[in-house]
Structure 1
Amino acid sequence: MEATIPLAVILFICAIVFICIGIYALKKKTPMHFWSGTIVKTEEISDIKAYNKANGIMWIIYGLIFIISAIISLIFDSNIGGIISAISATLGLFILVIVYRRIYNKYENKDY
């Protein structure tokens, strides 16, 4: 149990960060960006509110995966939560990119 507590704490901290990003995206009035150092212009997006909602949900779900990993790790007192979080931190990043591209393409202003 002592080995799983630090893992669970770290996973909860990561989850809080991702969920906060999601909440920020939900409340943002201008388009939420995904890539570091880039800005999504208002003219690029056809429905900013729906675009930000989709971005926010994406980040919140990603954060919830880390919470589930932490809970599983604590309940079963094993490293299974660490394995799940390692998979979500690696494979999950690729999935985030794919999901974001779909979100962007869905709400992209074709006239821009």
Structure 2
Amino acid sequence: MNVTLLATILAISFFSIGVYAYRRKEAMWFWSSPTYQQLTFHDPVTFNHKTGIMWMLFGIAFFLPVPFRYFHFFKENIFIMLLSCILTIGLFVMMIYWHHLYQIHRK
């Protein structure tokens, strides 16, 4: 049950980052670096909307297996492996997508 609670908190956190990025007026950064902060974007609001949707989808994907574990449809070790796969693949896809957005929207 502790892993289920932790996964729920993480999913809510990821989704909250998405909502924050979606509403932000200045460009939202995937990681922090002085070289990225010096660049400007053509349309930071559109960039933030796409970044926010990316984070919200990641939060939803991270939450999807939680109800199945809560109702004991599969064991905890399978649940942890599934979350690990979602986290690994999801972060990799998010990095590629964010880089794609960055290339499109920068000046």
TM-score by length of 1: 0.82
Which of 94, 97, 100 is 2:95 aligned to? 97
**1:30 equivalent in structure 2:** 26
**2:10 equivalent in structure 1:** 14
Deviation at 1:91, TM superposition (A): 2.2
Task: Within 5 Å, give how 1:47-62 maps onto structure 2.
Answer: 47-62=43-58
> In 1, distance between residues paired with 2:3 and 2:66?
7
4+ residue runs over 4 A deviation = none
1:78 equivalent in alignment to 2:75? yes
The gaps in structure 1 that reach 5 residues or longer are none
Cα root mean square deviation, aligned:
1.7
> In 1, distance between residues paired with 2:88 and 2:51?
19
After superposition, give the CA deviation of every residue in 1:71-92 in whole Å (9 maximum; x if it has no partner).
Answer: 2222314233322210122222
Identity %, equivalent residues:
28
The gaps in structure 2 that reach 5 residues or longer are none
> In 2, distance between residues paired with 1:99 and 1:17?
20
Q: Number of matched residues?
A: 104
